[in-house]
């Protein structure tokens, strides 16, 4: 969960988010090196008044500053494409959950269990128990088994929403009339918080998302209890 004055990513809680964090650091290193090189060349031209007569119309130099950026882009493109395919990869999920955005709450349907569907509203401050985060807790959490791939089908009943849980590396647009999907795997038990990430109206800030990962046996008990 994010904390005050946090400028970086939340701690990674899934293999996907770990890869996204590594890719961010990798790109940041390349960006810093390129920025330093460009500013060095810029200040050299501004403060060095002697000019090499072979510098102007130098074909070799033009070749270098064309080939080097192309090589850098190749080193950026390959891990980027690999990560994009990893995000879209769906290998036999053990559970499918449908998330439907409304103004302003989420409704969930466990498509593998016919009778399991519920609405998830934010818990108002007056009803919040001690120790629970303000504006992030909900009355009905999304419970999933950890160490099992889970597929989420995301859509909307009215306007654009976005189903996002940053610590798991999840963000998928909820578009009316369209069914998008995202897959994730939680390697451990825990509670993970997210929010709608698409401005969807007056109460956009009050439709949080809470995922609770539990052992598979506990998940089956929860399904049995909730269905009853």
Instruction: Tell me the Ramachandran region of residue 147: left when phi exceeds 0, alpha when psi lies from -120 to 50, beta otherwise.
Output: left
The residues spanned by each domain of the chain are: 15-88, 95-225
Tokens of 209: 């998302």
Query: 121 φ, ψ to 5°?
Result: -110, 150
What is the pTM (predicted TM-score) of this model? Answer: 0.81
Domain 15-88 has CATH 1.20.1340.10: no
Which parts of 77-201 are beta strand (E)? 95-102, 105-110, 117-120, 142-145, 150-156, 161-165, 170-174, 180-184, 190-196
pLDDT of residue 111: 83
33-88 residue pLDDT tens:
999 988 988 888 787 776 666 666 777 778 888 898 899 999 999 988 888 887 77
Which of 9, 24, 27 lies closest to 164 in space, CA to CA? 9
Give 160's Cβ-side CA count (13 Å radius).
5
19-40 residue pLDDT tens:
888 999 999 999 999 999 889 8
Asked if residue 123 lies in contact with residue 133, where contact means CB atoms within 8 angstroms, the answer is no
Asked if residue 212 lies in contact with residue 191, where contact means CB atoms within 8 angstroms, the answer is yes
- Domain 95-225: which CATH number of 3.30.60.50, 2.60.40.420, 3.20.20.70, 2.40.240.20: 2.60.40.420
pLDDT of residue 222: 87
Asked if residue 144 lies in contact with residue 169, where contact means CB atoms within 8 angstroms, the answer is no
Check pLDDT > 80 for residue 186: yes
């Amino acid at each position: 969960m994010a904390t005050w004055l946090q400028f970086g990513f939340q701690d990674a809680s899934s293999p996907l988010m770990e890869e996204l964090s590594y890719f961010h650091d990798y790109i940041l290193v390349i960006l810093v090196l390129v920025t330093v090189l460009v500013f060095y060349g810029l200040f050299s031209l501004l403060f060095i008044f002697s000019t090499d007569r072979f510098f102007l119309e130098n074909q070799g130099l033009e070749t270098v500053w064309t080939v080097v950026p192309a090589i850098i882009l190749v080193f950026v493109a390959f891990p980027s494409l690999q990560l994009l395919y990893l995000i879209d990869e769906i290998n036999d999920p053990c559970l499918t959950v449908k998330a439907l955005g409304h103004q302003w709450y989420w409704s969930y349907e466990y498509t593998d269990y016919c009778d399991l569907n519920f609405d998830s509203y934010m818990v108002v401050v007056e009803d919040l128990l001690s120790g629970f985060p303000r504006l992030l807790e909900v009355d009905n959490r999304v419970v999933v088994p950890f160490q099992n791939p889970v597929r989420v089908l995301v859509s909307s009943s009215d306007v654009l929403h976005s189903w996002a849980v940053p610590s798991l590396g999840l963000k998928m647009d909820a578009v009316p009339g369209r069914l998008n999907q995202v897959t994730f795997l939680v390697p451990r038990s825990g509670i993970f918080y997210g929010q709608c990430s698409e401005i969807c109206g007056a109460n956009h800030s009050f439709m949080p998302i809470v995922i609770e990962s539990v052992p598979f046996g506990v998940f089956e008990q929860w399904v049995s209890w909730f269905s009853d």
